[in-house]
Chains A and B, each alone.
Chain A
């Protein structure tokens, strides 16, 4: 069960560059490990894509490879032109998507 957490400032001034921090609890099984008892390869299951939109427009997007370890932490900067809502989407290998939203109020 993957659990996302995000940190977005609640307010910002127009045109300010803000820092957004994100974290998702996920095992990020690489597909290269072997089960100690059975000797069989533990199948790969990772988050393979992370996208962030702001008022519908993509502001950050990354394809993730098995080199990224468990509970991937992603931090990025973004310029906010107006008030709106960020939407964060993580895509799992098994097809599931995990989403969360955060609003921001822009002053001035």
Chain B
């Protein structure tokens, strides 16, 4: 169909306008929303969700993921009754005193009262294990205890038992600052994690840093991009309608950029966990957190 000259000219102008608008849109249209100013207070204790970043950090301030969620989501974390993660925490609490395995022991047999023995533990995870010659996450430590000291079967990474136990143990450290070690023997693992963080992968050719460092604060569709801090894990996510592990979240992120995800508990994810945890050293542990 041959277009009249005037129509063609109009279309041409419209096309240029469209392109210009798109160009403008790219620089002015992206919505930037600051993390909000609300303070997280649970049972009268104020948790650190905003912290002046150390000199070597790419950020000026460190923000917990809690600050990037809307009021309703934030409110659910403030009250242990409302916090949807607590039924699984209750399961973890039950399993703590449950005898399991060939040696007739429960966690409590050696560790007694979790409130005392597990206080602070989550803040140092992943932690270097001398005997194994490598760092271990909280899940890996739990299974190590189960297999070697209880003679019990290891729990699957995303099983209700493991989620319940990591949530219950993590809760004993709530309010204390994240403080994962990155020096000495941990350094090579930390370096590997750092490399993974900045390496582009997948069909969309993106790295963790692309969203969580370069574009933190911006909206990606309806999602408010956080700094990718992990102080709240294991966390209840509305998307999952369940508590989930950190490695589950890593898998989700990799799927989002159409990369082949590493496995939960893999060396890659352990290294990444060490690095990402260190980026948030100083923020309060919020386990079990509530996120979108």
Q: Which residues of A contact B (CB under 8 A)?
A: 1, 3, 5-7, 21, 23, 25, 71
Contact of B90 among A6, A7, A21, A25 (CB under 8 A): A25
Closest chain B residue to A21, Cβ basis = B81
Closest chain B residue to A22, Cβ basis = B81
Query: B90 near A3 (CB under 8 angstroms)?
Result: yes
> Which B residues are in CB contact (< 8 Å) with A6?
81
Query: B81 near A23 (CB under 8 angstroms)?
Result: yes
> Which A residues are in CB contact (< 8 Å) with B94?
1, 3
CB distance from A101 to the nearest CB of B (A): 16
- B87 interface residue, CB < 8 Å from A? yes
> Which A residues are in CB contact (< 8 Å) with B91?
3
CB distance from B280 to the nearest CB of A (A): 30
> Which B residues are in CB contact (< 8 Å) with A21?
81
Query: B87 near A71 (CB under 8 angstroms)?
Result: yes
Q: Which residues of B contact A (CB under 8 A)?
A: 79, 81, 86-87, 90-91, 94
Some 18 contacts from A to B, beta carbons below 8 A apart, are A1-B94, A3-B87, A3-B90, A3-B91, A3-B94, A5-B81, A5-B86, A5-B87, A5-B90, A6-B81, A7-B79, A7-B81, A21-B81, A23-B81, A23-B87, A25-B87, A25-B90, A71-B87
Number of A-B contacts (CB under 8 A): 18
Q: How far apart sit A23 and B90, CA to CA, in the bound complex (Å)?
A: 12
Q: How far apart sit A99 and B94, CA to CA, in the bound complex (Å)?
A: 16
> Which A residues are in CB contact (< 8 Å) with B90?
3, 5, 25
Q: How far apart sit A25 and B86, CA to CA, in the bound complex (Å)?
A: 10
> Which B residues are in CB contact (< 8 Å) with A5?
81, 86-87, 90
Q: How far apart sit A3 and B164, CA to CA, in the bound complex (Å)?
A: 13
Q: How far apart sit A3 and B81, CA to CA, in the bound complex (Å)?
A: 13
CB distance from A28 to the nearest CB of B (A): 14
Closest chain B residue to A3, Cβ basis = B90
Q: How far apart sit A3 and B90, CA to CA, in the bound complex (Å)?
A: 8
Q: How far apart sit A23 and B94, CA to CA, in the bound complex (Å)?
A: 17
> Which A residues are in CB contact (< 8 Å) with B86?
5
CB distance from B81 to the nearest CB of A (A): 4
> Which B residues are in CB contact (< 8 Å) with A71?
87
Which 9 A-B pairs have CB atoms at the shortest separation, nearest pair first?
A7-B81, A25-B87, A3-B90, A21-B81, A5-B81, A3-B87, A5-B86, A5-B90, A71-B87
15 extra interchain contacts, Cβ-Cβ under 8 A, other than A6-B81, A23-B81? A1-B94, A3-B87, A3-B91, A3-B94, A5-B81, A5-B86, A5-B87, A5-B90, A7-B79, A7-B81, A21-B81, A23-B87, A25-B87, A25-B90, A71-B87
CB distance from A52 to the nearest CB of B (A): 16
CB distance from B242 to the nearest CB of A (A): 12
Q: How far apart sit A92 and B31, CA to CA, in the bound complex (Å)?
A: 51
Q: How far apart sit A3 and B91, CA to CA, in the bound complex (Å)?
A: 8
> Which B residues are in CB contact (< 8 Å) with A25?
87, 90
CB distance from B77 to the nearest CB of A (A): 15
